[in-house]
Structure 1
Amino acid sequence: MTSHSNRTTSGTEAPAVALITALQSLSRAQREAAARIAHELDWPRAGVAVVHLLAKCGPASLSDIAARQRVDLSVASRQVSTLADAGYVVRTVDDEDRRVRTVELTESGWALAAEASEQYSKLIDQAFAAWSPEDLAEATRTLDRLVDTISANTTHRRSPQNQQECA
């Protein structure tokens, strides 16, 4: 007989609960790794994430940055303001829609992005040294499936506008 504590309120068995617990642990590990890299760069973790996004995707509107990071617009605005004040990004008014501000990296922002990318590469190389390319591909497929499954029941469903990937 299954213990009541091993079931969700909908009656889901313990393996799904264990999966969510593992995902929470993965999320904490990712935040800790990102915080370590940000610390090594002497920059707030969220700022490095915005720089990484702009380096990967190119100039973006503030609303696109917020959607891709799955944060509130006010959070993205504070992150971008901090980056702008430090000279890592510039905000420009869109010629077609004067209400839209486009955010793009400056030369200093590109340098920070390159340094952050190098730090991430070192971390990944160390962390996954014992994994085969097949293991990494399978893990990636599984994680994508997990994100899609969980996101299907949220207001932030995966789409080009709210993924780290660029359209």
Structure 2
Amino acid sequence: MTSSTTLVTPELVSLGLSAHDRQDATRQLAELLRDSGRVTDLPGFLADVQAREEQMPTGLPGQVGLPHARSAYVTAPGLAIGTFPEGVDFAGPDGDAVLVILIAAPANGDEDHLRILAALARKLVHAEFRAALLESPDAAGVAATVNREVVVS
């Protein structure tokens, strides 16, 4: 991954969302990626995410949903982040996800995808990191926290 690619910008963060189910939550976040130019075909990308989700649900401890996919419809690796105060069922071990982070990686970006996933997972195990994201007053704060704390090497 090039250092010129910022994982998340304030435009890729949306706070206080509500979703009917994990597909709805994923669609809302994928729309942010499409609007930023990182996803070229929304239905195609969502199909790739759904196929990955069907292999194994992506709910993590700490009420986090981490849907992700490599896709031909992704132009640059990135994250879309949403908070869902009412929760969304991502089949997590401790209930519905209130923090959902969608990882998008280009189809040929297997190494980038795995590095992003590993770096995020290392941070998400820490309650302080999750709290910083959930308690951030705005999208810029969430983006700054992720870009500062999630080191993809």
Indicate the TM-score class for this superposition, using the shorter chain for normalisation.
under 0.3
**Which structure has the greater CA radius of gyration?**
1
Q: Give the structure, 1 or 2, with the largest relative contact order (CA under 8 Å, sep 6 or more).
A: 2
Structure whose residues are more often strand by fraction = 2
TM superposition score normalised by structure 2 = 0.27
Structure whose residues are more often helix by fraction = 1
